[in-house]
Amino acid sequence: MNMKDDDLLLHLQAEKTVETDAGSCYRLNCPNFQLDQAARLLQPKLVMGVPDVKIQFTTPAKPCAPCDVSYSVSAKTEEDEYIAVGWKGRSWERDFPYAPEHPLRPNYFGMSIDSFDNFTSDRIALGYTSNGGCVREMVAKNVVGAPTDVDYKILKGTSVERSNGRTILKFTISQHWQWDSDNTIDGPWRIMWAIGKVNPISNNPMLSACTATLGYHLEHRGVAPLNWLTNISAGSINSCGCTFSDSESDNALSMIV
């Protein structure tokens, strides 16, 4: 029992995110992933196969307005699955109480982005390596429903690859970075993520991998503040720290673009 308790504490102990010259790393679905790992030891029948979803970025150097921010998003996925990430603005208590009921933020709990939160852009970055691989830039036009490909693109340096069973999506985007001191509490913004299937392309040589139909993400999705609700004595209930990986942020690697 002592050995099991030690292993359980190891799985539930969050890594600390340390700002370095390289950048920051966050595990976006921290508590669910850790509990699922603990279930493998204590209750294997309850294992749900929760994916390990991480985001890495380097804080831009002042001054810049807007700032080009480089991101790396990775997840343990199947070869025929996509990983998608977007931004949902600041958490509700940052600006006014009961924000979901505020007329400026009717989409607070939805997929689309309100103009109030658009300082981070309304874009969704989505990548997969199946069918030849593609990075797609999309927007959610409604509170719920499938996103659509954009008419004009703002993502730069896009790439996607698979390594050690993980899909790694990289891109640079221009954002109005939140420089004020509240970042230490609220985090720059909330991050939404999703994982779903990429349906096979029909036998048509004129079609590209970027025309593949995207399947519904089901329960493999979430919204996680980077810092808000993470410093709880009982442990993180949103994102938590992880170890920054140079290999996942190295643009010199061979990848599908």
- Kindly give, in sequence order, each residue whose CB lies less than 8 Å from that of residue 222, ignoring residues fewer than 6 positions away: 28, 29, 32, 53, 192, 193
Q: Give the Cα separation of 158 and 136 in Å (integer).
A: 9
pLDDT one digit per residue (tens) for the chain, 257 residues? 454 444 444 444 445 544 555 688 999 888 888 888 899 888 999 998 888 999 999 888 888 889 999 999 999 999 999 999 999 888 776 676 666 678 888 888 888 998 888 888 999 999 999 988 999 999 999 888 889 999 999 999 999 999 999 999 999 999 988 776 555 666 667 899 999 999 887 777 667 889 899 999 888 888 888 776 655 444 556 788 888 888 787 754 445 55
Dist. CA 117–CA 115, nearest whole Å: 5
Distance between CA atoms of 76 and 78, rounded to whole angstroms? 7
Judge if the upstream peptide bond of residue 63 is cis by omega within 30 degrees of 0: yes
- pTM of this prediction? 0.84
How many Å apart are CA 83 and CA 167, to the nearest integer?
Answer: 7
Domain extent listing, the chain: 2-244
CATH topology of domain 2-244: Immunoglobulin-like (2.60.40)
CA distance 120 to 9: 36
